[in-house]
Chains A and B, each alone.
Chain A
């Protein structure tokens, strides 16, 4: 079953066609990678899907619903979470609080209930805390729960950001270079994590430069170059595609 369908998507910034007529689909439960040289339009593609940019042309449908141009907080509400290449923590908040904010779309306490600390609201707050701790535990950083997120090591911050995205209980998770800045050991660890996330029933779309990670965990790969899709297939085929080799290694 298709969870995400991208149809002839285009985004133009002035004279630059950042994303040009890109189409692909994403199967429910799959791990798909988007690769390509720097400036190929990978992050723009992510921003289009997450609603942070409005496409110039084309359509994006998520679970059968058109989402192009929808405001980003609504896209998140539908069940698309994303992480960033440059980690975006909530400064001044603990790791646990960061993850608890991620529960926003799964909670419903109104302003008044919150102000007067009704019993229903207190129960929900407790449930949010318990659930958020579970996500930290899932990523193996439960012991950092009460540390200020910005004081954690880089790899741990990435895990907190991932926990925050998972706290949304998304159907689709967009990972923007999850291995950026990590060493070989940590990269292997994040690879295992992504596979475990898929086992939770979450579909994963990732942008990544680390080829060994991409080849290891992806079911399918989309290759972009100068905004255009030049290949889409399973890893072993993409690896041998002459055009992909040309783009990556030159002629």
Chain B
């Protein structure tokens, strides 16, 4: 393999990997506050892309994306308030099945609204053929947008959880819900907020990746599977683990193309998921003792 080709694969891997990481972090945020896996996470990414494309007909690009993110956040809040909030002591399994139902609902609604066409946002700078050179390899400037935006989101989320009172209260709610309630925190609002945050980061990732990966009504399922693999890989609930896991899966997928046919790319993600679930169900960076304390 030439150096150029190596870098080409590496950059592609990092690009897809950072998208997987964002989906996985979306899983983690909701998992941490509720203990459930929200399988509609991939749909948030699809909505971010689709809504941006629609709003672009009436608005310039930045406000179109901004509005799409806001609307998706609203949809996230709505999902929580309609389907999760009023449940009395719901079982984990019941809530997970609800999120699968919601994901089907959103997908079908998207099919009705946007049809089954493959769409995409225009490149933020330049076009399909413009490229920049990195050590001899040619990559699209959009790649930098994807990686940069995902990186910024990770940093911003970290600041939010570590240095703001609401972030701290969300962590408290995740660590011990009863103690959080007795500190006067309305944990239901924290759950809503976790859906809003997850929807927001998913939608933003969906918008910036759209020019490279394209957007279709049913891309959510595939992304949810990849994101879930990454979340498990990094250890459920561990956001930095998700970043590492995302990049790892992205790079493995990219390099696998040089060994096996492209069509097997998804099979590789599923194979990794199965291996991890069999061998280290608590993830590469989690500890089995901690995992034993969790409900799911």
Contacts and interface: CB of A to CB of B under 8 A. Distances in A.
A124 B163 CA distance: 12
A101 B182 CA distance: 10
A93 B165 CA distance: 13
Interface string B161-180: 00111111101100110111
Interface in A91-117: 91-93, 97-98, 100-105, 107, 109, 111, 114-115, 117
B29 to A, nearest CB: 15
B160 interface: yes
A58 to B, nearest CB: 22
A73 B184 contact: yes
Contacts, number: 84
A81 interface: yes
B183 A105 contact: yes
A52 B187 CA distance: 14
Contacts of B176: 88-91
Contact of B185 (A92, A93, A104): A104
Contacts of B168: 93, 97, 100-101
Given A97-B168, A111-B166, A91 B175 contact: yes
Main SS of chain B's interface residues? helix
A109 B172 CA distance: 17
Interface residues of B, number: 23
Contacts of B181: 52, 72-73, 76
Given A76-B181, A88-B179, 19 more contacts: A50-B182, A52-B182, A71-B186, A73-B181, A76-B182, A76-B184, A90-B171, A90-B180, A93-B168, A97-B168, A98-B172, A100-B165, A101-B180, A101-B185, A115-B160, A124-B165, A125-B164, A125-B165, A168-B183
13 contacts: A52-B181, A71-B186, A72-B181, A73-B184, A89-B176, A90-B171, A98-B172, A101-B172, A104-B184, A104-B185, A105-B183, A105-B184, A109-B165
